[in-house]
Structure 1
Amino acid sequence: MPSSRQTFIAGVAVIAVLATGCAGAGGGSASGGGESINVLMVGNPQMEDIAELTESTFTKDTGITVNFTILPENELRDKVTQDIATQAGQYDVATIGAYEVPIWNKHGWLHELGSYADKDPGFDKADLLEPMVQSLSGADGKLYGLPFYGESSFLMYNKEVMAEKGVTMPERPTWQQVADIAAKVDGARPGMKGICLRGLPGWGELGAPLTSMVNTFGGTWFTKDWKARVDSPEFKKATKFYVDLVRKHGEAGAPQAGFTECLNAMSQGKVAMWYDATSAAGSLEDTKSSKVAGKVGYAYAPVVETKNSGWLWAWSWAMPKTTKKADAASKFMLWASGKEYEKLVGEKLGWSRVPAGKRASTYEIPEYKAASAAFGDVTLKSIEAADPTNPGVQPRPTVGIQFVAIPEFQDLGTKVTQEISAAIAGKTSVDKALANGQKLAETVAENQ
């Protein structure tokens, strides 16, 4: 993997959180007495919540201390890839996703986790949503990641602003309708922009919403027989649409805006719409941190040529083969992905903040149903409708909606999105960006 051995960027801010933690379903007894494990995870709100809750619950019940290292998404991807691919063995547990699991399992880097879940009757593996299980399983059908939360993507919009401008948002909008609405609501309030779209380079940052847009515009990174299509008319049309939309009506500082920045912009009322992960809804509905709680509407991911266009992702717990603390690590993962942890979050922090999208039973909890009334049904249906094997209008060489499931895509996607981010910044044209991207993709295709 070209980027897996890059030197980790010095100076990156790391939030090191020392926590000690809890047992719910899967927590077990205090047999871990005095042990500690190192957990590397992405700095999303749900992960910050578990860092806050672990000491008073998991550690209290098991005696297992959990040392968390929390990183922004791009830095997390570099760090976890570097640690696992080089067999450094610094971490016992790490958050990875649907892209990494099948590739890393093929290399023999991950512990199989389904057997741990099967031995814990309180975990209830059968309750996990099937798309999550499939996306986190290896070619052998075994589970190599335990989902912490699952997501698709949808459009979030400020209902008050729409009403003020006389706009009715369709339940299933097209991208052209979204662009037209963005123009109408841009400047609706002082300093408010029409929409937030990620512009921060990274295959999992800008690359995620862009690739889902490319799919529904009829494009693809590669044909089924590995012909690169980055400079195809469809890919180019989608990219120009994305770049034009964010340049005309998007957030300030778009080339540096990723998930976290767009979440902040939407929750603070600085943008009228946002297309991104369904998992963001819990934060938007949190009255403690969001100025738009109760004012947000949710529509299905915008489309052009496809019926659906939402992506599929699960931030999941994985255990590197290098760990010498598999028993303690598995106890933590089973607790963190268990039903009891979801109840703990709901009772302690608020039901909208439950790490949902992974269990069918979550959507039957009365308190969660009430808290997620605006977004829960759209989230679940979006996850269930996502089809990683057929996300566009043509056959694909691998599975994946917002990524191509090959090791080289981590580097390819990041380099191409660097070019496109530069186009958003006005430093290059989309044509030049995609011409350079095509050359990179052709090199990747030659090795398949």
Structure 2
Amino acid sequence: MKRTFRPALNALCGGALAFAAFGAHAAQTITIAMLNNPDMIELKKLSPAFEQANPDIKLNWVVLEENVLRQRATTDITTNSGQFDVMMIGTYETPQWGKRGWLAPMTNLPADYDLNDVVKTARDGLSNNGTLYALPFYVESSMTYYRKDLFAAKGLTMPDQPTYDQIAQFADKLTDKANGVYGICLRGKAGWGENMAYVTTVVNTFGGRWFDDKWHAQLDSPEWKKAVTFYVNLLKKDGPPGASSNGFNENLTLMSSGKCGMWIDATVAAGMLYNKQQSQISDKVGFAAAPTAATPNGSHWLWSWALAIPKSSKQPDAAKKFITWATSKGYIEMVAKDEGWASVPPGTRESTYARPEYQQAAPFASFVLKAIQTADPTHPTLKPVPYTGVQFVGIPEFQSFGTVVGQSIAGALAGQMGVDQALAAGQATANRAVQQAGYQK
């Protein structure tokens, strides 16, 4: 009896010890809600290096299209469901969610992270009341890209600071539909951060604004009508077919495959367009400032895609370790080795812009940094406004009414309704939203 009992007891104790040892070394899994843009796909590709250096942390990726990511992240944070340990959000959400106590503050970062190296504009945009709530993965403004070879063939010269009238004239001359080349590509896909990010900058520079200083919607103003009519006519005449379905990624594909004479969009695309592995026009790309019309105010945006930790995360320490790695100087070096210096995440660190390798590989570097530093979310329009944000209105309700307005404008672009009808619907939606929220005085 004793002889048979002891081995059983030993086996039981050994199993318990083994289980305890396993429990001590069981990997924590952190779930990351991530955007499907090229820079983020590169992050996922390089992330095994993080897991090798941190064997106690496993990464679970949920990679989503922009509109879906925003929806999922907002649902998760507002319901406190804790689905995600890390989420990619931007300069719109971060200060608002931080203020509400929904995000973990980015304090006590490792000394070698060198927070002072992070571009001040980026830090300010991701802070509320002096507290940082996310670390920037990349920072962007907007700019004009164009095909130097097509401009030369037509005897055209792109000015450093084009006007929208000049852009329309160039687009007419560059369009060659028989050969599958369209004079201009622009965002048309509905979404507050898709078509409305771009359209709002057009409205701003045409002298318009979302709301007057008493929170009355202005979508039925002459400036909105002029700006949106210009945008719709330009794309209908000189844009690719199905433009109302094209967001950032679709236009990036069109431009890099040689289908667009010009493209006005995020400065982050420069690294992809100049990358020989990703772009058929890498040696033919020219760049200029985002176009202006009546005023330079709000003609180019400021945005950061950043990594934040929801308060509902069950693994905040592991999440923070990952975020600091993904936004570190060391990560930028890894991308440079893998993809070349032109393709490193831009706009985040002064040290990147000081690197001779970056300056040489990225002729757009100093231009982009200046665009980021001169975009002014506190004075986004010609006339006074009660909100901050160049390509968005910095209030929680904008996410909802901005998307509805985006759907109406995409409808006008697709020919389903007129511009007047789209703006009348948008005016009613925006006014209703701010009335219900108690903004109007």
Whether TM-score is above 0.5 comes out as yes
Letter in 2 for 1:385: T
In the other structure, the counterpart of 1:142 is 131
CA contact (8 A) 1:43 1:72 kept: yes
Task: Pick closer, same or farther for the CA change 1:71–1:32 going to 2, 3 Å.
Answer: farther
Q: Does 1:232 align with 2:221?
A: yes
1:83 aligns with 2:76: yes
Superposed, 1:12-411 pairs within 5 Å as: 34-55=27-48, 57-63=49-55, 64-113=57-106, 115-117=107-109, 120-138=110-128, 140-187=129-176, 190-307=179-296, 309-373=299-363, 375-411=364-400
Question: Do the aligned partners of 1:147 and 1:358 also contact (CA within 8 Å) in 2?
Answer: yes
Counterpart of 2:385, as a letter, is R
Between the two proteins, what is the percent identity of the paired residues? 47
Count of paired positions: 412
C-alpha change, 1:32 and 1:322, in structure 2 (3 Å) is: farther
> Is the alpha carbon distance of 1:266 and 1:414 closer, same or farther for their aligned partners in structure 2, counting shifts above 3 Å?
same
Distance apart, 1:189 and its partner CA: 7.0
For residue 138 of structure 2, give the secondary structure of its aligned residue in structure 1: strand
TM, length-normalised to structure 1: 0.90
In the alignment, the residues of structure 2 paired with residue 254 and residue 194 of structure 1 have an alpha-carbon distance, to the nearest angstrom, of 13
Helix, strand or coil at the partner of 2:111: coil
For 1:37 and 1:177, the matched residues in 2 are separated by: 49
Alignment partner of 1:438 out of 427, 430, 433:
427
Could you give the per-residue CA deviations for residues 204-260 of structure 1, whole angstroms, max 9, x where no partner exists?
A: 000011001110100000112211101111111111111111111012210100001
Query: What SS is found at the alignment partner of 1:419?
Result: helix
Quote the offset at 1:116 in angstroms.
Answer: 3.2
Give the letter for the 2:194 counterpart.
E
C-alpha deviation, 1:305, in angstroms? 2.2
Q: Distance in 1 between matches of 2:60 and 2:272?
A: 24
Q: Which has the higher helix share?
A: 2
Output the TM-score relative to the length of structure 2: 0.92
Change (3 A) 1:32 1:324: farther
How far off is 1:32 after superposition? 8.6
Worse overlay, 227-236 or 102-111: 102-111
Unaligned runs of 5+ in 1: 1-30
Q: CA deviation at 1:58?
A: 0.7
Pair member with larger Rg: 2
Counterpart AA for 1:325: Q
CA contact (8 A) 2:397 2:434 kept: no
Q: CA RMSD in A?
A: 1.3
d(CA) in 1 for partners of 2:182, 2:26 = 53
1:420 and 2:424 matched:
no
Give the 4+ runs in structure 1 shifted more than 6 A: none
Inter-partner Cα distance in structure 2 for 1:203 and 1:176: 25
TM-superposed deviation, 1:290:
0.8
Paired residues of 2:208 and 2:221 also in contact (CA < 8 A): yes
Structure 2 residue ranges without an equivalent (≥5):
1-23
- Deviation readout 1:131-187 (Å, 9 max, x if unpaired): 11111001x210001000000000000111111111100000001110110001011
Query: Could you tell me which residue of structure 1 aligns to residue 9 of structure 2?
Result: none
Asked whether the equivalents of residues 152 and 313 of structure 1 are also in contact (C-alpha less than 8 Å), the reply is yes
